[in-house]
Structure 1
């Protein structure tokens, strides 16, 4: 448990309209369902509420932003400072104009966005049906699947900096690459603007059904997992490297490499965050020793280790 940060911040927090919770079980918002608490959890009511909070929050208080937690590992020692999670109608709205320009809030789940676009006959977003994150995460990681990616139809985005100032970003500002962008890490995305096109709702639904069927057949969708663990090296597949290193089904504590897809780690029910991260580093070490290649984490690991414990990179024991 952390000391009560909300108590220390003082009276200005009384004007915050969103939810503020001390020592909040943030692990319940992650797909792995592991990790320690957030010292202070903030769920803003809207963009203005978020700006007010950030303008008044002392500069020395760390801020961490999370989305749906589908590609996130919270370490067992928890997260010091403030954890911000956008949700609610203010950050999940969708607007489509007559030219198929789409504005969507950053908290909108990718899958739900794909479904809504299909119902409205807006093509270009069916690939999001296979991505279990939010639009904000898609902007940060240039999320992609099935031969498509976020940047292809992106016209721009809104993001808020640590001081509570809104920035309107162009595709050039975003600087998207493979699972990356060049926007400062402390910017919080609040909205994305895309260029869609006319499409037939039934055809779009069929396309999404194909995406869903592929995901169900090839990924451990019913398990406590964090999505793709490692980025694909240039011209190679991370899952093949993990498989060739002999890790299919391998267990360490309560963590396991998925027997179905070796680039997925699973919490079998009793795993700690340390188990999961230690297993990932063991895999990285073996792959490096066998091939000379360094796998890079795609899962975002945040927070602190429990005092007296630590998972070092490429740890083998």
Structure 2
């Protein structure tokens, strides 16, 4: 509950609210600065519950990009599938793109529904060692729109982290929406309470994408989120028939490789644009096993190997 001070303006969100000092009702309030600083905000009572639930999740990976359309959902699903190729590891995907959940279709689970038990929500298993949770499983129809403001979206993210019964996971890969706003602050706050957690930054080569991706790197550094490295998606298109390689998105400023060098980050991989990947995602199929000799499969396996090495270095 938010604590509303005496003589507060109408529609005051309260000092404990995430909108404290930021809502339109706060304009002109003498307490606006102190409220927005968080100094009056009580600790989240659910933080301990989230921390306890995540204690059985060993490594957490945030897939981030300030830009939409760079392929975060595809990269998330492919990285998770690549990690799950090691049958000794348990892998989960958490889709926190509340307004645009893609993982149910990408993972071939579009018609599935979440079941509850005394232990919490049961994620949807799409393989022996690969589970998925998304708001898409909670909607009555795949065409339903989620029209929520920030606080309600944040509440849903908290519920996913607090109430999903993952069991024991080696890796939890989190698919995020574009930007650096409410959802990102919430997921970082909760995951940071249960390290290790680190981010992968996804970009495409063209400058219009890199502009926003640089902001995402700044965001990670401001919230003290370790960055595993940068993945450049759709680097080139290789024709499946003639094998001609074409740069669909020309890297006018050096692309992901230059961004990684400028940001002192590791370039984890440059992923080719392969129409078979899009087809596999639309059909909910595992591209890595369907096309084991594809250069894209080798690239994703290499990215997964580097993620494993990163977390091994953290232990």
Both proteins in one fold, TM over 0.5: no
TM-score, length basis structure 2: 0.27
TM-score, length basis structure 1: 0.27
Q: Which of the pair is proportionally richer in strand?
A: 1
Q: Tell which has more relative contact order, 1 or 2 (C-alpha 8 A, sep 6+).
A: 2
Q: Which of the pair is proportionally richer in helix?
A: 2
